[in-house]
Each structure stands twice: as C-alpha cells, then as structure tokens.
Structure 1
Amino acid sequence: MSWYCDVAPGHPWHGPYHDTEYGFPATDETVLFERLCLEIFQAGLSWLLILKKREALNAAFARFDVDRVAAFDDADKARLLADAGIIRNRRKIDAVIENARRVQALRVSHGGFAAWIDAHHPRDLDAWVRLFKTTFKFAGPEVVNEFLMSIDILPGAHRADCPVAARIAACAPVWGTSSR
C-alpha cells in the first residue's frame, strides 16, 4: 500500500491514522472489533469516507463495545438505518452486530479475539480469508487483508522507507508469542 505512505503524511484524516494506528500491533478487543467493523463498512467505499464517519460510527455502535453491540435488537437496527451520519447498509450493519456475537463466542472457545488470531498465526492471506469466512460475516479478501495489515499480522501496511515502518519494527512482538 505504498500510495498510503505518500498520501497520508500531513493529510488531516489519513495522516493521524497512518502515523499512529495503521500497521501497529493491536490486541485490545475493542480496537480489534472496531478495526474489523471499519473495514467492513469500507468495502466498496473510500477509506477517507470511513475516517470522516469514524466518530459517528463509534457513537452509533456504542464505541464498538462487543457486549453492547451484541445486544443490539431490531430497534437498534432501525435506529442505525435511519442515522445519516453512518454507512446505512443493512448487510454491513447486520454483519457488525452478528460479528459482535461471534467475538463473544471466541472468548469462550479461545479466550478472546486476540487469542483466536494468535492461535492461528502465522498463515498466508488465503488461509486467513478461509478462516475469517467461516468465523465472521462480511469477511471477504479485501476486508481480511486490510484488517490484518492494520494490526501487523500481514505485511504491506507501509513501505520499508516510510518512517512509520521503523516505529512499527521497534514495537515489541505481539503475535505468535502465546504458548500453544
């Protein structure tokens, strides 16, 4: 994604995300869930649009608190579909709510979302896509690839000469460190 390293620096929306989040290891459940949801909402749209709507999405989806989103009902779906501040795509909204329930299930089966990812690390993109498709809704190749790059599972978030790449490389290893 070399273009991102060219476009993002200094950009009011892309810059902060590129410089402080994209490609950095993340294991917090809420961060992981938000990232997955943002990638779902981005499918077929621009990342800039998602960044501009990010705060509204956070407000509409209870700051991506898994338990709160998993409890959303038909009234919540109606509220979301009427919210002009977010992406009002029924399939994406349904996927986010169902995926919250699936993350809850990962707590039981693996100890959490991050532990589930770590238990399957490393894999190539095709294997990750197959795994995500059997575990989550609306998890196509682009959603999975961008999500995994955004949390430092798959390479490609930054060019080698991007100053952010050096900062990420200096981070302590997160993935593949659990005992299996």
Structure 2
Amino acid sequence: MTYCELVHNLPPDTDNPNKHYHDCEYGFPIEDDNALFGRLLLEINQAGLSWTLMLKKQAAFQTAYADFDIAAVAAFGEADTERLLNDAGIVRNRLKIHAAIYNAREILRLQAEYGSFKNWLDAHHPRDKAAWVKLFKKHFKFVGGEIVGEFLMSCGYLKGAHDESCPVYAQTLAAGAKWAEAV
C-alpha cells in the first residue's frame, strides 16, 4: 500500500497526523531555511522508527530544538546535549542529537556561502537520488539514502511523494515542486 492509499483509507474525522501531513505538507516546496532544517532533523530522527511517531512528537522536537532555529541549534553545547538526552518528548539518541547540532553548523556555513540553505539546494538541483545522497554525505552527518530521499521528496526536490492519481500530486505541481523542473 502506498502512502497516498494509506492516508486516503483513513476516516475523514481521523486524528492520525499523517492525514494533514500528506494533504498539506508532504511534497510541497519549503522556502524557509529553519523549516527545511526542521524537516531534515525529523527525517534523521525517524531512522529506525515510524513517521507517525515523528509527526506526533513534532511539537516537542520544535520546542526542544529552539523552534528549529538553525543558529540557536548550532550554538548548542554539552549542557544542551544533556538536556536533549533527558527530554522524554523527543528521540533521545546521542548520535542523532550530535548530528542535529553538527548539521545546523554546516547549514550556517552553507548559508554564508550560498545565502541560504534553500539556495544551496537549488544550486545543486536537479540531481538523481544517488547524486543527492553523495552530496549530503559530504556535508552532513547521519544521512543515508532513505533519509536524504525522504527529505528531498518531502520538500519537493525529488519525485515520489504522491502517486500521480492522488489529488495532492497536482497540488504539489501547482505549488512549484522542484522535481517537476527536472522531468
């Protein structure tokens, strides 16, 4: 069953967070660097867990990671790492926490060079998934094929977020999904 089928089979009055995410966020372009960082952080933390869990914990992650403010997270030190390791509202994995801080610092560096994280992504578009993974592994920590692929699909850089028969597919096209430029 595809993600689109799964979501379309949910009852209309569901409190399952996948419904809103699928219909309003997944595959749509993200313009804001902090929002892009937040999505990457969630994708990294999802590794080995379910996306539903990440969506349910998203608000806790946002609070724990300074509203996904890249500069604030880049400034996190050992006390912040310990605070995050003791925060039951998020995924308490030392490697993932260190990756979030490292990646925030790397995004700051990319922002200084490209003007924004989004500009860096745009400057390397279009690429196939394998080339994106290689590029991400060069710059970031805790990023493998699934994490990079899902991150890029989720923010409109790679095709595959929605089935072509899904009504949201056309909406992502209309919103300016970057993958459409590469087709």
Sort the TM-score into its range (normalised by shorter chain).
over 0.9
Rounded to whole Å, the distance in 1 between the matches of 2:34 and 2:26 is 15
Structure number with greater CO (CA < 8 Å, separation at least 6) is 1
* Alignment pair present for 1:4 and 2:10: no
Which of 149, 157, 166 is residue 153 of structure 1 equivalent to?
Answer: 157
Rounded to whole Å, the distance in 1 between the matches of 2:104 and 2:40 is 10
Rounded to whole Å, the distance in 1 between the matches of 2:87 and 2:148 is 26
* Alignment pair present for 1:37 and 2:41: yes
For 2:95, the equivalent position in structure 1 comes to 91
Task: Report the TM-score when normalising by structure 2.
Answer: 0.92
* Alignment pair present for 1:16 and 2:20: yes
RMSD after superposition: 1.6
- Is the 2:17–2:55 contact (alpha carbons within 8 Å) kept by the matching residues of 1? yes
For 1:170, the equivalent position in structure 2 comes to 174
| Post-superposition CA distance 1:60-80 (Å, at most 9, x none) | 001100011111110000000
* Alignment pair present for 1:134 and 2:125: no
Which of 100, 105, 108 is residue 109 of structure 2 equivalent to?
Answer: 105
Alignment gaps of 5+ in structure 1: none
Rounded to whole Å, the distance in 2 between the matches of 1:87 and 1:170 is 35
| Post-superposition CA distance 1:111-153 (Å, at most 9, x none) | 1110111111011111000000001111110000000000111
Task: Please identify, of 31-40 and 168-177, the stretch whose mean Cα deviation from structure 2 is larger.
Answer: 168-177
Q: What is the SS of the residue equivalent to 1:8? A: helix
Q: What is the SS of the residue equivalent to 1:154? A: coil
- Is the 1:22–1:151 contact (alpha carbons within 8 Å) kept by the matching residues of 2? yes
- Is the 2:158–2:179 contact (alpha carbons within 8 Å) kept by the matching residues of 1? no
- Is the 1:118–1:176 contact (alpha carbons within 8 Å) kept by the matching residues of 2? no
Identity %: 53
Aligned length: 176
For 1:70, the equivalent position in structure 2 comes to 74
Counterpart residue identity of residue 42, structure 1:
Q
Rounded to whole Å, the distance in 2 between the matches of 1:8 and 1:146 is 17
| Post-superposition CA distance 1:56-103 (Å, at most 9, x none) | 111100110001111111000000000111100000000001100011
Runs (4+) of structure 1 exceeding 3 A deviation are 172-177
